[in-house]
Amino acid sequence: MDYKALAERLLPGNYPELSNFEELYPPRDLPKGAEVTRLAPSPTGFIHLGNLFVAIANERIAHQSGGVLYLRIEDTDEKRKVEGAVEAVKNALRYFDIRFDEGAEIEGENKYGPYYQRQRADIYRAFVKDLIARGRAYPCFCTEEELAALRERQVAEKKITGYYGEYAKCRNLSEEEIYANLDAGKPYVIRLKSMGDPEHKLTFHDEIKGDITVTENDQDVVILKSDGIPTYHFAHAIDDHFMRTTLVIRGEEWLASLPIHLELFDVLGFRRPRYGHNCSLMKQDGETRRKLSKRKDPELSLEFYRKEGYFARAVKVYMLTLLNSNFEEWYRKNPDAPLESFRFSASKMSKSGTLFDLDKLNDISADEFARLSEEEMAAFLKEWAMEYGTDAQKAYFDDMDYMKSVLTLCMGTTGKKRRKDFKTASQAMELISYFFARPESHESYRVSPEDRKALLESYLKTYDHADDSQGWFAKLKEVASANGFAAEMKAYKADPAAYKGSVADVAEVLRIAVTGKANTPDLWTILHILGKEEATARILAAREEA
């Protein structure tokens, strides 16, 4: 068969010499040991935790080695493309401080671009043409129906499905048959003519999983689709070579395709990058562990973290904790060091499923918030509210001094005794909402409506806004005694039957009346932040409702 003539027929015209691409995209001038890594999302609009995991790993590895992290958009599948997806990826990652040095929509020299695969179609075609001319790729005219029937047959025969060996019908078409099909205008794709032998096992060193055994590829995978656009497999091999990627950290769902990728690099004559396949994120669901699912777990989407107002640093700390087994200890010893000074290592990444636990993240968030000053917390909450908050929540920031006094109370004294109530911006905003509006609902009281009414009435009679904290509490005790409640906890504990309750119940009535919540920071301070008028009005309203 005259492969050269076939290549010319299939991809007519002058394509650049392949060596031109080597000159156009020369090896990068980087110090020894510098890694070139990338993030290569498809623009589907859904960016998830798995993407963030590999983004953090790739970012750390590139930047700590003095290398480059770039963003490539793998848009070969037109059907999955969503408008605005690239912006969404960039915004989502920027929030977590993932900085790209070059790539799609990234400012910079961008010498290895374009970074959208569809804009690189000519490069791919030049290589496809060469493979055809070398007899290593061929046109396949099989229709969807034929392929579906083949699949059915293979399933019935309990054979591995796919286009390979004896099943690869078009691999053995004669020259006449090929030209007859072409003359008849039949649509076709271009497939790799695989030389792999599935009996052949080879050892592959994965940067995360260590040495693994893989089976050689024998699938004649599609490399160029009928619209002249390559498949992901083919495009990524060309791109990782010419963008001079040294290390690919990606999700382990790609491990199954690795043999295809290895063969593609070999047939193209490219040196392969090193690969590390990151294990899937798991969730404890009752007794079992399962993969996080798009449908069931909102926390899989990165959008979730921004909408809820997670503190990016907290998410990053948790991710690093999961990503590198020695991070947690390092962080405990170096709580104030920049996260970048931790030495990240692919070989310390987990080899099997990582358990992702939102409760653990919430604990870390609470710790991280507790490290912020009131000003920093206010700025963080404000930024969140301006983007995601209600109009009422936006108005919380009209009086920043008031907000600061609220946060000073709700966060506790700077230093050791900080409260750890805040986990996310949306939750914190809800927690402090009673400072800005009367509570819409009240948590349930332990005390009966009659007693509540009586307690609130006697409280109002003795209430003097000028009382200091101690004087105020002494009066609360008087109110307790006058209404059959123990003024001292000790007395109550010694003989609970002798009382309706204790001063703690009295304080709770007041607390719920004013804030709607049974758990709050110091009540006296709350009353003073609210001011006499507002505090009194709320107590009056609660008395009416009792």
Question: What is the Cα–Cα distance from 168 to 162, expressed in whole angstroms?
Answer: 8
Q: Which is nearer to ligand GLU, 248 or 509 (CB)?
A: 248
Cα dihedral: 438, 442, 443, 446 (round 10): 120
Least spacing, CB of residue 236 vs ligand GLU, in Å? 5
Binding test (CB under 6 A) with ligand GLU, winner from 59, 74, 451, 508: 74
Which of the 8 DSSP states describes residue 172?
Answer: G
Question: What is the Cα–Cα distance from 532 to 215, expressed in whole angstroms?
Answer: 77
Please confirm, yes or no, whether 294 is among the known catalytic residues: yes
Q: Which is nearer to ligand GLU, 72 or 316 (CB)?
A: 72
Whether the CB-CB separation of 251 and 277 falls below 8 Å is answered with yes
CA 116 to chain centre: 22
Using the rule CB under 6 A, give the single segment among 128-136, 247-255, 332-340, 518-526 that binds ligand GLU. 247-255
Using the rule CB under 6 A, give the single segment among 246-254, 356-364, 372-380, 510-518 that binds ligand GLU. 246-254
Question: What is the Cα–Cα distance from 389 to 240, expressed in whole angstroms?
Answer: 42
3-state DSSP of 428-459: HHHHCHHHCCCCCCCCCCCCCHHHHHHHHHHH
Q: Which is nearer to ligand GLU, 48 or 538 (CB)?
A: 48
3-class SS of residue 204: strand
Binding test (CB under 6 A) with ligand GLU, winner from 254, 342, 402, 524: 254
The contacts of residue 529 (CB under 8 Å, 6+ apart) are: 402, 405, 406, 409, 435
Q: Is 236 in the site for ligand GLU (CB under 6 A)?
A: yes
Least spacing, CB of residue 85 vs ligand GLU, in Å? 11
Least spacing, CB of residue 250 vs ligand GLU, in Å? 4
Residues 32-51 contacting ligand GLU, CB under 6 A: 40-42
Using the rule CB under 6 A, give the single segment among 83-91, 220-228, 248-256, 403-411 that binds ligand GLU. 248-256
Whether the CB-CB separation of 72 and 103 falls below 8 Å is answered with yes
Whether the CB-CB separation of 268 and 127 falls below 8 Å is answered with yes
Q: Which is nearer to ligand GLU, 243 or 512 (CB)?
A: 243
Catalytic residue among 294, 348, 461, 532: 294
> What number of CA atoms fall less than 13 Å from residue 177's CA on the CB side?
11
CA 528 to chain centre: 41
Q: Which is nearer to ligand GLU, 270 or 388 (CB)?
A: 270
Residues 195-234 contacting ligand GLU, CB under 6 A: 232
Least spacing, CB of residue 238 vs ligand GLU, in Å? 12
Q: Which is nearer to ligand GLU, 74 or 421 (CB)?
A: 74
Q: Which is nearer to ligand GLU, 276 or 501 (CB)?
A: 276
Identify the bridge partners of residue 281 per DSSP, sorted by sequence position. 354
Binding test (CB under 6 A) with ligand GLU, winner from 63, 120, 250, 316: 250
3-class SS of residue 150: helix
Question: What's the one-letter identity of residue 318?
Answer: Y
Measured CA to CA in angstroms, residue 206 lies from 236, 255, 269 at distances of: 18, 10, 21
Least spacing, CB of residue 42 vs ligand GLU, in Å? 4
Least spacing, CB of residue 72 vs ligand GLU, in Å? 8
Counting residues that bind ligand GLU (by CB under 6 A) gives 9
Residue 260, class by beta-carbon neighbours within 10 Å (0-12 exposed, 13-18 middle, 19+ buried)? buried
Least spacing, CB of residue 25 vs ligand GLU, in Å? 18
Catalytic positions are 294
Binding stretches for ligand GLU (CB under 6 A): 40-42, 74, 232, 236, 248, 250, 254
